[in-house]
């Protein structure tokens, strides 16, 4: 089956957020420079950008307005909601099930944001992790967060400067803790994984001179999430937004670091008899099936089965027969400057 691959950015903040600094005009301009097909905006605790007419197609970019529910801990990205969900009575985020349920009660869905965010003590960045895993009702978790990954590299002033100047070379990919949790969750029930940016275009000061840490035209070159849709975008805002939501909820999506090479064209499916099963799909193994991966450039392809590396190979195509049930996903590492660097991470195919 042919799918259309659309690249988007999930979790970003505009000047509508108390800690955001970029007006929507600048964000939109940066998105179009970077060929971003859709943006999933998540200003803190309100939907003001929608109220002021920003939601929908803006030129070549589809803007989807959601909300980041952001108490002290347990941040949650809410989409397809009619009214903002507030938790002013729970400033520490001690009862995230309450706001997960509130989102679901509106017919919306949610994504656990930066679950293993550590912050960095040297630069006075607080940690904003998710600390309640007894909850249910969420659809997805962030597996790779640009800000979480980048902030881990801030261990000293010299390395911090180099990391600021060349951030893509310091990114390590999703943390092992997050990947292990994601794999464990998928053993129990489908839990979609996404990549997020969490950029605020923060203003910093060096030697008394203010500067923007990551303006959006720079930040949009890092973590993107691609959705695969059965139909082309139509230009109808509601219809196209629904297609993005359906692909995300199903898990027909992957996330990638776009800095070194675009991930557009990545494919992963498992074929059994005359049927093909893609990311987010599940099927019953009745005969030998064939797993196939292709990517736009020669790279190291790792096949992960039930949370452990099953096979790996270097190339731009890979296939292997499957004779055992399991949860299969793909990690791809691209060689740049003499080192294999994290590039593409797929959602799983579930073989029962």
Give tens-digit pLDDT for 81-131. Answer: 999 999 889 999 999 999 999 999 999 999 999 999 876 665 566 778 999
187-210 CB burial, b ≥16 within 10 A, e <16: eeebbbbbbbbbbbbeeeeeeeee
Is 152 among the domain residues?
yes
Domain count, the chain: 2
Shared-domain flag, residues 227 and 317: no
Domain boundary among 257, 286, 307: 257
Place of tokens 């909850």: 135
Q: Is the pLDDT of residue 206 over 60?
A: no
Shared-domain flag, residues 198 and 234: yes
Which residue, 106, 39, 116, is CA-closest to 75?
Answer: 116
Shared-domain flag, residues 222 and 292: no
Shared-domain flag, residues 111 and 233: yes
In sequence order, which ranges of 231-329 are alpha helices (DSSP H)?
237-250
CATH of the domain at 337: 2.60.40.10
Number of helices followed by number of strands (H, E) in the chain:
8, 20
Q: Which domain holds residue 339?
A: 267-351
Shared-domain flag, residues 159 and 289: no
Q: Is the pLDDT of residue 253 over 90?
A: yes
pTM above 0.75, yes or no: yes
Q: pLDDT per residue over 35-84, tens digit each?
A: 999 999 999 999 999 999 999 999 999 999 999 999 999 999 999 999 99
């Amino acid at each position: 089956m042919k799918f259309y691959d659309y690249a988007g950015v999930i979790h970003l903040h505009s000047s509508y957020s108390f800690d955001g600094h970029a007006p929507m005009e600048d964000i939109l301009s940066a998105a179009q420079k970077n060929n971003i097909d859709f943006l999933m905006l998540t200003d803190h605790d309100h939907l003001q950008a929608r109220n002021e007419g920003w939601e929908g197609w803006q030129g070549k970019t589809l803007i989807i307005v959601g909300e980041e529910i952001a108490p002290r801990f347990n941040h949650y990205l809410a989409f397809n909601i009619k009214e903002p969900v507030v938790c002013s009575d729970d400033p520490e985020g001690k009862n995230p099930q309450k706001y997960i349920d509130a989102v679901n009660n509106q017919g919306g869905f949610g994504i656990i944001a930066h679950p293993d965010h550590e912050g960095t003590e040297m630069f006075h960045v607080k940690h904003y992790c998710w600390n309640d895993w007894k909850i249910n009702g969420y659809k997805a978790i962030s597996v790779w967060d640009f800000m979480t990954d980048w902030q881990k590299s801030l261990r000293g002033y010299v390395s911090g400067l180099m990391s600021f100047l060349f951030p893509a070379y310091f990114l390590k990919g999703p943390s092992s803790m997050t990947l292990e949790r994601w794999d464990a969750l998928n053993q129990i029930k489908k839990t979609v994984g996404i990549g997020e940016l969490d950029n605020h275009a923060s203003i910093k000061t060096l030697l008394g001179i203010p500067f923007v840490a990551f303006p959006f035209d720079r930040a949009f070159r890092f973590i993107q999430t691609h959705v695969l849709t059965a139909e082309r975008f139509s230009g109808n805002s509601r219809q196209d937004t629904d297609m993005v939501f359906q692909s995300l909820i199903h898990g027909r999506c992957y996330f990638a670091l776009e800095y070194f090479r675009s991930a557009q064209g990545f494919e992963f499916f498992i074929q059994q008899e005359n049927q093909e099963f893609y990311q987010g799909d599940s099927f019953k193994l009745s005969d030998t099936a064939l797993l196939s991966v292709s990517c736009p450039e020669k790279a190291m392809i790792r096949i992960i089965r039930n949370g452990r590396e099953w096979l790996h190979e270097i190339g731009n195509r890979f296939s292997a027969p499957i004779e055992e049930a399991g949860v299969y996903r793909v990690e791809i590492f691209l060689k740049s400057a003499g080192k294999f660097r994290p590039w593409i991470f797929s959602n799983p195919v579930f073989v029962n």
